[in-house]
Amino acid sequence: MWEIINKIMYGTVETVAESKLKNVILTTHLPPAMLPVEMFQKNCKILFLVRDSRDVSVSLFHRFKGCKIENYNGPWDNFLMFEYIEHWKLFLQQKPDIPLLVVHYEDLKKRVSDFLKILLEASTVQAIDANVDFHEEMKKNIFKDEQFSIFRKGIVGDWENHFTDAQSEAFNVRFQERMNKSRFLSIYA
């Protein structure tokens, strides 16, 4: 996401050298309580990248299963993760006016320039889209250690290869309950 945002901000398909950057862009997976307080005091714009919780569950399950650090030996059944999005749900209920754009993983290459108020030619947006390949970026992953790999596949909809019909239905019910009255409810329900 950091690379895409920089390309949008500078209107180029080339990677912008860190020494040339004028604006600081923070990309994070942390819950809001762990972010610098100054981000909220200074009303910094936040781009919150959201993945389908079903895909997150599958990714985390495989990470925990294959990661000696986590030492997880449990089964796939009932392995659903909502916590990462619940932290943001509660935070946004308390501070609904912070400038936050929820960007779906599936739509990452859209909508960002509007939120940042950067006008780009359609041809530049298409060039950035064509120039950024998540799978290539994942191959450059600095955490290639087999004990601690961040990326697995990065494929949208891989959950369909793991969820049974009953698990899918249970997920839908649980997601509706936990994301009720949240701007995240309409994302993947």
Q: Please give the pLDDT value at position 153.
A: 64
The C-alpha atoms of residue 147 and residue 176 are separated, in whole angstroms, by 34
Run of H or E including 102: strand 100-104
Q: Please give the pLDDT value at position 14.
A: 78
Domains and CATH numbers, the chain: 2-188 (3.40.50.300)
Run of H or E including 49: strand 46-50
18 three-state secondary structure: helix
Q: Please give the pLDDT value at position 142.
A: 47
Block means of pLDDT (10 residues each) for the chain, 189 residues, are 73 73 67 86 82 80 70 71 76 87 69 70 72 57 50 72 88 82 66
The alpha carbon of 129 is separated from its chain's Cα centroid by a whole number of angstroms, namely: 17
Residues 6+ apart with CB under 8 A from 16: 6, 7, 10
Q: Please give the pLDDT value at position 178.
A: 79
Residues 6+ apart with CB under 8 A from 80: 53, 54, 57, 170, 171, 174
Compute CA distances 32 → 29, 92, 134, 182, whole Å: 9, 9, 25, 16
